[in-house]
Amino acid sequence: MARGFNEPGQKPRRFYAAVDVAPEGGGFAVRLDARQLRGPKGGRIVLPTRALADQVAEEWAGQGEALELATMHATRLANTAIESVPQARKATAQQVADYAASDLTCYYATEPAGLVARQQDLWGPVLDRAESEAGLRFVRAAGIVHQAQPQATLARVKALALELDDFGLTGLAFGAPLFGSAVLALALQRGWICGEEAFNLSRLDEAWQEEKWGVDAEAAERTERLHVEAAMLDRWFRGLA
């Protein structure tokens, strides 16, 4: 891979012409000029489904003369799922549980009334479903003062994360910080909501402020970046189904 890099500090150059996907070891490998893609640690990148392999391949095929590695989110997830998560499954699941301990969807505004109503109408059903279908009972709070969650709930979140394979667990661990919510990440992983819905639910407060005060360019750029990541994660989970 080293031959694809310029001077230090510069983006790596595209070093391949063709990208394809081929069956490999019970899964599917992404190939660059017929050479199998490897991760940063040298591991062979073999995806469990054709859909996931296609998602990664499309990122490589869509690159220009310089590789925009920061935009290759599915590739990063694949690398993590193959080279890092297998040796750190419990720690990864604990990270998801840590987000559940201060989950975004449990903190409701005290005012204005319109925002409070919006949060209750949109977050409430997701929390209700998490309790009825996944056994996750969360305590809801008003304001920003920390509200401790039941230890049984946090243990259950960790257990649910550990039930997933390495690729599902990696996606969940990516989604929890993306949304600020283990609940929304789990809801997306389980197909209760789509990536667009998870993204919108994760930024009810921001959307309310934008409706009132408008959007500045820097915030819009960040929002679009997160929006793209949410769509990628939706496709990742659907590709595992």
Weakest mean pLDDT among 145-149, 191-195, 233-237? 145-149
DSSP assigned state of 10: S
End-to-end CA distance of the chain: 32
Dist. CA 39–CA 235, nearest whole Å: 21
| From 144-158, 197-211, 215-229, the region with the lowest mean pLDDT | 215-229
Structure confidence by residue, pLDDT tens digits, 74-85? 999 999 999 999
One-character DSSP codes across 160-173: HHHHS-HHHHHHHH
Show the domains of the chain with their CATH numbers: 2-83 (3.30.2180.10), 88-240 (1.10.3580.10)
What tokens were used for 3? 């031959």
pLDDT of residue 9: 65
Q: Tell me: pLDDT of 21 over 60.
A: yes
Q: What is the mean pLDDT of the chain?
A: 94
Kindly provide the b/e burial profile for residues 189-221, where b requires at least 16 CB atoms within 10 angstroms of the residue's own CB: beebbbbebbbbbbbbeebbeeeeeeeeeeeee
User: With 50 as the cut, is the pLDDT of residue 4 above it?
Assistant: no
In tens, the pLDDT along 116-133 reads 999 999 999 999 999 999
Tell me the pLDDT tens digit for each residue of 206-220.
999 999 889 888 889
Segment 96-103 shows an average pLDDT of: 98
| C-alpha closest to that of 228 among 203, 206, 199, 204 | 199
| DSSP tag of 82 | H
Name the residue with tokens 């789990």.
Answer: 186
User: Taking 90 as the threshold, does the pLDDT of residue 6 lie above it?
Assistant: no
pLDDT for res 147: 93
**Mean pLDDT calculated for residue range 12-17:** 95
3-state secondary structure 174-208: HHHHHHCCHHHHHHHHCCCCCHHHHHHHHCHHHHH
User: Which tokens hold the place of 208?
Assistant: 């309310």
What predicted TM-score, i.e. pTM, was given to this entire model? 0.93
